[in-house]
Structure 1
Amino acid sequence: MSELNGTWILESKENFEEFLKALGVGVILRKIAKNITPTLIIKGEGRKWSVKMTSSFKNLEYNFNLDEEFDDVTIDGRKVKCIFKLEGKKLITEQRDFKSKELISKIEKYVDEKGHMIEFLYAKNIISKRTFKRVN
Protein backbone atom coordinates (compact mmCIF):
# COMPACT_ATOMS: atom_id res chain seq x y z
CA MET A 1 0.00 0.00 0.00
CA SER A 2 1.22 3.49 -0.85
CA GLU A 3 1.43 6.27 1.73
CA LEU A 4 -0.44 8.35 -0.87
CA ASN A 5 -3.58 6.30 -0.16
CA GLY A 6 -6.23 8.37 1.55
CA THR A 7 -8.29 11.51 1.29
CA TRP A 8 -6.49 14.82 0.85
CA ILE A 9 -7.76 18.42 0.80
CA LEU A 10 -5.94 21.32 -0.81
CA GLU A 11 -4.18 23.50 1.74
CA SER A 12 -2.10 25.85 -0.43
CA LYS A 13 -1.01 26.48 -4.00
CA GLU A 14 1.74 28.43 -5.73
CA ASN A 15 1.86 29.49 -9.38
CA PHE A 16 -1.21 27.39 -10.23
CA GLU A 17 -2.92 29.91 -12.50
CA GLU A 18 0.35 30.31 -14.46
CA PHE A 19 0.51 26.52 -14.85
CA LEU A 20 -3.01 26.44 -16.27
CA LYS A 21 -2.19 29.33 -18.58
CA ALA A 22 0.86 27.40 -19.90
CA LEU A 23 -1.50 24.52 -20.72
CA GLY A 24 -3.68 26.86 -22.75
CA VAL A 25 -6.64 26.78 -20.34
CA GLY A 26 -8.96 29.74 -20.99
CA VAL A 27 -9.29 32.64 -18.60
CA ILE A 28 -12.76 31.67 -17.25
CA LEU A 29 -11.72 28.11 -16.36
CA ARG A 30 -8.46 29.41 -14.86
CA LYS A 31 -10.37 31.78 -12.57
CA ILE A 32 -12.72 28.98 -11.48
CA ALA A 33 -9.82 26.55 -10.86
CA LYS A 34 -7.93 29.21 -8.91
CA ASN A 35 -10.81 29.61 -6.46
CA ILE A 36 -11.81 26.00 -5.71
CA THR A 37 -10.50 23.73 -2.97
CA PRO A 38 -10.41 20.21 -4.41
CA THR A 39 -10.35 17.00 -2.43
CA LEU A 40 -8.31 14.08 -3.79
CA ILE A 41 -9.06 10.47 -2.93
CA ILE A 42 -6.20 8.16 -3.85
CA LYS A 43 -6.35 4.37 -3.69
CA GLY A 44 -3.50 2.27 -4.96
CA GLU A 45 -2.43 -1.30 -4.50
CA GLY A 46 -0.09 -3.10 -6.82
CA ARG A 47 -0.75 -1.99 -10.39
CA LYS A 48 -4.42 -1.00 -9.87
CA TRP A 49 -5.00 2.59 -8.78
CA SER A 50 -7.69 5.23 -8.70
CA VAL A 51 -7.47 8.98 -8.24
CA LYS A 52 -10.70 10.88 -7.69
CA MET A 53 -10.93 14.67 -7.50
CA THR A 54 -14.04 16.28 -6.12
CA SER A 55 -14.77 20.00 -5.99
CA SER A 56 -17.64 22.45 -6.09
CA PHE A 57 -16.99 22.87 -9.83
CA LYS A 58 -16.38 19.44 -11.30
CA ASN A 59 -15.48 15.89 -10.32
CA LEU A 60 -12.95 13.68 -12.07
CA GLU A 61 -12.08 10.04 -11.57
CA TYR A 62 -9.25 7.98 -13.02
CA ASN A 63 -9.14 4.21 -12.66
CA PHE A 64 -5.95 2.87 -14.18
CA ASN A 65 -3.15 0.36 -14.19
CA LEU A 66 0.30 1.81 -13.62
CA ASP A 67 2.47 2.12 -16.75
CA GLU A 68 -0.47 1.68 -19.16
CA GLU A 69 -1.21 4.63 -21.45
CA PHE A 70 -4.85 5.56 -22.08
CA ASP A 71 -6.83 8.21 -23.95
CA ASP A 72 -8.25 11.07 -21.89
CA VAL A 73 -10.07 14.36 -22.30
CA THR A 74 -9.02 17.22 -20.01
CA ILE A 75 -11.49 19.42 -18.12
CA ASP A 76 -11.12 22.05 -20.84
CA GLY A 77 -11.81 19.52 -23.62
CA ARG A 78 -8.33 18.69 -24.96
CA LYS A 79 -7.71 15.09 -26.10
CA VAL A 80 -4.52 13.70 -24.55
CA LYS A 81 -2.68 10.46 -23.93
CA CYS A 82 -2.23 9.88 -20.21
CA ILE A 83 -0.03 7.54 -18.19
CA PHE A 84 0.54 7.08 -14.45
CA LYS A 85 3.81 5.69 -13.12
CA LEU A 86 5.19 4.97 -9.69
CA GLU A 87 8.80 6.11 -9.29
CA GLY A 88 9.94 5.27 -5.78
CA LYS A 89 7.27 6.82 -3.57
CA LYS A 90 6.18 9.37 -6.21
CA LEU A 91 3.07 8.98 -8.34
CA ILE A 92 3.90 10.54 -11.71
CA THR A 93 1.25 11.56 -14.25
CA GLU A 94 2.22 12.47 -17.80
CA GLN A 95 -0.12 13.97 -20.38
CA ARG A 96 0.96 13.95 -24.01
CA ASP A 97 -0.55 15.51 -27.09
CA PHE A 98 -2.98 13.04 -28.65
CA LYS A 99 -1.43 13.28 -32.13
CA SER A 100 2.20 14.35 -31.77
CA LYS A 101 2.80 12.54 -28.42
CA GLU A 102 4.69 15.64 -27.26
CA LEU A 103 4.79 15.99 -23.46
CA ILE A 104 2.24 18.60 -22.35
CA SER A 105 2.38 18.27 -18.58
CA LYS A 106 3.91 16.21 -15.81
CA ILE A 107 2.59 15.98 -12.25
CA GLU A 108 4.44 14.44 -9.31
CA LYS A 109 2.69 13.54 -6.05
CA TYR A 110 4.43 12.36 -2.88
CA VAL A 111 4.06 12.53 0.89
CA ASP A 112 6.68 14.69 2.61
CA GLU A 113 8.29 14.18 6.02
CA LYS A 114 5.51 16.25 7.68
CA GLY A 115 2.77 14.00 6.29
CA HIS A 116 1.53 16.45 3.66
CA MET A 117 1.00 15.41 0.08
CA ILE A 118 3.07 17.63 -2.19
CA GLU A 119 2.13 17.97 -5.84
CA PHE A 120 4.50 19.55 -8.36
CA LEU A 121 2.93 20.42 -11.72
CA TYR A 122 5.10 21.11 -14.78
CA ALA A 123 4.04 22.63 -18.13
CA LYS A 124 6.45 24.27 -20.56
CA ASN A 125 8.76 26.32 -18.33
CA ILE A 126 6.21 26.75 -15.51
CA ILE A 127 6.33 24.90 -12.18
CA SER A 128 3.42 24.98 -9.75
CA LYS A 129 3.26 23.49 -6.27
CA ARG A 130 0.17 22.43 -4.37
CA THR A 131 0.12 21.13 -0.80
CA PHE A 132 -2.63 18.88 0.53
CA LYS A 133 -3.37 17.77 4.09
CA ARG A 134 -4.71 14.32 4.95
CA VAL A 135 -8.38 14.26 5.90
CA ASN A 136 -8.62 10.77 7.38
Structure 2
Amino acid sequence: MSELNGTWILESKENFEEFLKALGVGLVLRKIAKKITPTLIINGEANKWSVKMRSTFKNLEYNFNLGEEFDDETIDGRKVKCLFKLEGNKLITEQRDFKTKEIIATVEKFVDANDHMIEHLYAKNVVAKRIFKRVN
Protein backbone atom coordinates (compact mmCIF):
# COMPACT_ATOMS: atom_id res chain seq x y z
CA MET A 1 0.00 0.00 0.00
CA SER A 2 1.29 3.48 -0.85
CA GLU A 3 1.88 6.33 1.56
CA LEU A 4 -0.05 8.44 -0.98
CA ASN A 5 -3.26 6.58 -0.09
CA GLY A 6 -5.73 8.78 1.71
CA THR A 7 -7.69 11.99 1.46
CA TRP A 8 -5.79 15.22 0.87
CA ILE A 9 -6.95 18.85 0.81
CA LEU A 10 -5.09 21.64 -0.93
CA GLU A 11 -3.21 23.83 1.52
CA SER A 12 -1.14 26.08 -0.77
CA LYS A 13 0.02 26.54 -4.34
CA GLU A 14 2.82 28.33 -6.14
CA ASN A 15 2.86 29.39 -9.80
CA PHE A 16 -0.26 27.32 -10.55
CA GLU A 17 -1.91 29.92 -12.78
CA GLU A 18 1.28 30.18 -14.87
CA PHE A 19 1.28 26.39 -15.22
CA LEU A 20 -2.32 26.48 -16.50
CA LYS A 21 -1.43 29.32 -18.87
CA ALA A 22 1.47 27.24 -20.27
CA LEU A 23 -1.05 24.47 -21.00
CA GLY A 24 -3.25 26.92 -22.92
CA VAL A 25 -6.08 27.00 -20.36
CA GLY A 26 -8.26 30.07 -20.90
CA LEU A 27 -8.55 33.01 -18.53
CA VAL A 28 -11.96 32.12 -17.06
CA LEU A 29 -10.96 28.55 -16.14
CA ARG A 30 -7.61 29.77 -14.73
CA LYS A 31 -9.44 32.21 -12.46
CA ILE A 32 -11.81 29.47 -11.27
CA ALA A 33 -8.90 27.08 -10.64
CA LYS A 34 -7.15 29.79 -8.64
CA LYS A 35 -10.09 30.04 -6.22
CA ILE A 36 -11.04 26.40 -5.62
CA THR A 37 -9.62 24.16 -2.91
CA PRO A 38 -9.74 20.63 -4.30
CA THR A 39 -9.71 17.44 -2.27
CA LEU A 40 -7.83 14.46 -3.69
CA ILE A 41 -8.70 10.90 -2.72
CA ILE A 42 -5.97 8.44 -3.67
CA ASN A 43 -6.20 4.69 -3.38
CA GLY A 44 -3.49 2.49 -4.82
CA GLU A 45 -2.54 -1.09 -4.35
CA ALA A 46 -0.17 -2.99 -6.62
CA ASN A 47 -1.04 -1.88 -10.20
CA LYS A 48 -4.67 -0.85 -9.60
CA TRP A 49 -5.12 2.79 -8.57
CA SER A 50 -7.78 5.45 -8.37
CA VAL A 51 -7.40 9.20 -8.01
CA LYS A 52 -10.49 11.30 -7.39
CA MET A 53 -10.59 15.08 -7.35
CA ARG A 54 -13.52 16.74 -5.62
CA SER A 55 -14.19 20.48 -5.78
CA THR A 56 -17.01 22.96 -5.88
CA PHE A 57 -16.35 23.41 -9.62
CA LYS A 58 -15.98 19.89 -11.00
CA ASN A 59 -15.27 16.34 -9.90
CA LEU A 60 -12.86 14.04 -11.74
CA GLU A 61 -12.13 10.37 -11.28
CA TYR A 62 -9.35 8.23 -12.70
CA ASN A 63 -9.30 4.46 -12.33
CA PHE A 64 -6.21 3.03 -13.95
CA ASN A 65 -3.50 0.42 -14.06
CA LEU A 66 0.02 1.76 -13.62
CA GLY A 67 1.93 1.87 -16.90
CA GLU A 68 -1.15 1.60 -19.15
CA GLU A 69 -1.87 4.65 -21.30
CA PHE A 70 -5.50 5.71 -21.81
CA ASP A 71 -7.48 8.43 -23.58
CA ASP A 72 -8.56 11.35 -21.41
CA GLU A 73 -10.13 14.78 -21.64
CA THR A 74 -8.92 17.70 -19.55
CA ILE A 75 -11.24 20.03 -17.63
CA ASP A 76 -11.03 22.53 -20.49
CA GLY A 77 -11.95 19.89 -23.08
CA ARG A 78 -8.58 19.02 -24.62
CA LYS A 79 -8.12 15.40 -25.71
CA VAL A 80 -4.95 13.86 -24.28
CA LYS A 81 -3.29 10.53 -23.67
CA CYS A 82 -2.67 9.91 -19.98
CA LEU A 83 -0.19 7.59 -18.27
CA PHE A 84 0.35 7.03 -14.55
CA LYS A 85 3.50 5.34 -13.27
CA LEU A 86 5.16 4.81 -9.92
CA GLU A 87 8.85 5.68 -9.60
CA GLY A 88 10.10 5.04 -6.08
CA ASN A 89 7.74 6.95 -3.79
CA LYS A 90 6.44 9.24 -6.58
CA LEU A 91 3.22 8.85 -8.53
CA ILE A 92 3.95 10.42 -11.90
CA THR A 93 1.31 11.44 -14.42
CA GLU A 94 2.19 12.21 -18.02
CA GLN A 95 -0.25 13.92 -20.36
CA ARG A 96 0.57 13.65 -24.04
CA ASP A 97 -0.92 15.46 -26.99
CA PHE A 98 -3.52 13.17 -28.53
CA LYS A 99 -2.14 13.54 -32.06
CA THR A 100 1.59 14.27 -31.76
CA LYS A 101 2.13 12.14 -28.61
CA GLU A 102 4.45 14.85 -27.24
CA ILE A 103 4.42 15.28 -23.46
CA ILE A 104 2.49 18.47 -22.65
CA ALA A 105 2.41 18.11 -18.83
CA THR A 106 4.00 16.02 -16.12
CA VAL A 107 2.81 15.88 -12.52
CA GLU A 108 4.72 14.25 -9.66
CA LYS A 109 3.06 13.47 -6.33
CA PHE A 110 4.91 12.31 -3.22
CA VAL A 111 4.60 12.50 0.56
CA ASP A 112 7.27 14.50 2.38
CA ALA A 113 8.73 13.97 5.87
CA ASN A 114 5.98 16.18 7.38
CA ASP A 115 3.19 13.97 5.97
CA HIS A 116 2.20 16.54 3.34
CA MET A 117 1.63 15.52 -0.24
CA ILE A 118 3.76 17.61 -2.56
CA GLU A 119 2.74 17.96 -6.18
CA HIS A 120 5.21 19.32 -8.74
CA LEU A 121 3.62 20.27 -12.06
CA TYR A 122 5.61 20.81 -15.25
CA ALA A 123 4.46 22.29 -18.59
CA LYS A 124 6.82 23.74 -21.17
CA ASN A 125 9.32 25.76 -19.12
CA VAL A 126 6.92 26.38 -16.19
CA VAL A 127 7.10 24.61 -12.83
CA ALA A 128 4.32 24.88 -10.26
CA LYS A 129 3.92 23.38 -6.81
CA ARG A 130 0.89 22.46 -4.74
CA ILE A 131 0.93 21.24 -1.14
CA PHE A 132 -1.86 19.09 0.29
CA LYS A 133 -2.47 18.11 3.91
CA ARG A 134 -3.83 14.73 4.90
CA VAL A 135 -7.39 14.80 6.24
CA ASN A 136 -7.73 11.20 7.42
Q: Structure 2 length as normaliser, TM-score?
A: 1.00
Runs ≥4 residues deviating over 2 A: none
Q: Compute the displacement of 1:114 (Å).
A: 0.5
Shift of 1:100: 0.3
Write the distance in 2 (CA, Å) between the matches of 1:17 and 1:77: 18
Partner letter of residue 15 of structure 1? N
Structure 2: stretches of 5+ with no match in the other structure:
none
How many angstroms apart in 2 are the aligned matches of 1:111 and 1:73?
A: 27
Q: Percentage identity across aligned positions?
A: 81
- In angstroms, what is the RMSD of aligned CA positions? 0.2
Q: Counterpart of 1:72 in 2: which secondary structure?
A: strand
Quote the Cα distance in structure 2 between the aligned partners of 1:117 and 1:75: 22
Q: How many residues align?
A: 136
CA distance in 1, matches of 2:12, 2:54: 16
For residue 19 of structure 1, report the CA deviation from its aligned partner.
0.2
In the alignment, the residues of structure 2 paired with residue 113 and residue 66 of structure 1 have an alpha-carbon distance, to the nearest angstrom, of 25
Deviations along 1:57-104, one digit per CA (max 9) or x if unpaired, are 000000000000000000000000000000000000000000000010
What is the TM-score with the length of structure 1 in the denominator?
1.00
Separation in 2, partners of 1:53, 1:34? 15
The structural deviation recorded for 1:36 is 0.2
